[in-house]
Amino acid sequence: MASATIVPFLHGDRDVLSVLLDRRSEGSEPGARTDEHRVALVIGGGGMRGAYVAGMLRALDRAGLVPGFDEVYGASSGAFSAAAFLTGDAAACAASYPEDLSTDTFINMRRLGTRRPVVALDHLINEVLDGRKPLSWDALGHTAAELRIVATDASDLTAHTLTGMETVADWRQALRASASIPLLCGPPVTYGGRRWVDGSVGEPLAMARALRGGATHVLVVLCRGTDDLHPDADAGLSLWARTLDRLVPGLGTVAQGSRRYGADLRLVTDAAHPDRGPGHLAAIGPSRSVGMGALCVDPDRVGEAVRVGDESAVAAIEAVAAERRDLGAR
């Protein structure tokens, strides 16, 4: 049997990528499959760390793997990236990070304590996605694979998949709801009669949600590499984060993403995890850290994160493809 190529930033079951490669070679499309699998892509948030993920999504798109997915889950910045991925705008999304979002117009800590949010979602939605890097808004709700936006109910901080988006206005509101963090991005967003905050508060990565929804194979793209994760996956939230959550629901939770991502990654790597069941899970993380945080606006560093994400996804795909070729030659 072929030995696995060592790719330390590719975690979990490589069969997930293998199924995607099979579907690409078969020309398989959602709704007309030749297999019985249901493949989900899970995209978490992370603010400007989403640049890593945007690079990965650009690579998956360029590799022709988009038609291999049956559904895509996105939360926070990952919801916007998911929308771009499914509408054919992955390359523009990746370019937007260093070109349009690495600016104090979008993120400015000097606005903290004023009536203006630190992170200007209006700039992202109205200036970037409506103008500089237009998102194909009219395609939302009509993509071949289903887009599932995750947001957190502000009343109890539980995560939910938003439903009922029928118009462009609905989709814009749902995406905003998935990314709103009080003090940082603005107050909770009202949608469907409830108030919502950032999806990453209730659920950083919707892997278990995808499995419960019927996915047999789940690929997760991570905005944090191993070097950016907390060393103790069971540490939980710190006292200051729990205190901050009581003052501003969700803010402390989001601020400690390094702890929560480590715990979530265990679902991928532990085949006996109680939330896993028979599903196949794999995750691609950045091959290295460029030393940037969620609010970084250094265009050079952000652009490097996009490149690292792209290269990481390419390396993961190529490693699995090489193993398949080697196995076929034996």
Residues 309/53, Cβ–Cβ less than 8 Å: yes
Residues 257/199, Cβ–Cβ less than 8 Å: no
Active site residue 180: no
Q: How many of the other CB atoms lie within 10 Å of CB of 131?
A: 9
Q: Which of 88, 80, 38 is nearest to 172 (CA)?
A: 80
Active site residue 198: yes
The catalytically annotated residue of 18, 28, 76, 77 is 76
Residues 252/245, Cβ–Cβ less than 8 Å: yes
Q: Which of 261, 128, 97, 244 is nearest to 184 (CA)?
A: 244
The catalytically annotated residue of 198, 228, 245, 310 is 198
Give the span between the Cα atoms of 85 and 277, in whole angstroms.
28
Residues 177/191, Cβ–Cβ less than 8 Å: yes
Q: Dihedral through CA 25, CA 64, CA 42, CA 23, nearest 10? A: -10
Catalytic residues: 76, 198
